[in-house]
Amino acid sequence: MANPEEIQKITLVDENGDETLYEILFTFHSEEYSKDYILLVPEGVEDDEEVDIQAYIFNPDENGDATEEDLVQIEDDKEWDMVEEVLNTFLDDDTNFS
């Protein structure tokens, strides 16, 4: 597990104005779509707890940072399939959770 100081976080605001803090699970770049993606999990979940993972297209700045305004919903089904495949590969790799 990563050192708590190393975990990056982002706050998202839903349509009701409620804020939720998320931890960045990982980011990746797709050559196929020429886009960057970010996957988020709610802060404070246990390793064995089932959660909804949020995935977005994101446009980081030159330092690799992004804010909620830099996140874009994924609307293309084929693009979603690609993101899910990357996520499943990540989740299947036990070294990501040691």
**Nearest partner of 24 among 38, 35, 44, 11, judged by Cα:** 38
**3-class SS of residue 19:** strand
In-domain check, residue 76 = yes
With CA atoms as reference, report the closest residue to 39 among 5, 82, 3: 82
% residues pLDDT > 90 (the chain): 48
Average pLDDT over residues 3-27: 83
Residue 2 covered by a domain:
no
Residue 36 pLDDT > 70, yes or no? yes
As a whole number, the mean pLDDT across the chain is 85
Number of domains in the chain: 1
Give domain status of residue 44, yes or no: yes
Residue 43 near residue 56 (C-beta atoms within 8 A)? no
Query: Considering the domain boundaries, does residue 1 fall inside one?
Result: no
Give the CB-side neighbour count of residue 7, counting CA atoms within 13 A: 16
Q: Which domain holds residue 67?
A: 9-94
Residue of 85 and 60 predicted with greater confidence: 85
Whole-number pLDDT of residue 1:
42
* pLDDT tens per residue across span 76-98: 999 999 999 999 999 888 777 65
Position 4 in a domain: no
Helices (H), 35-76: none
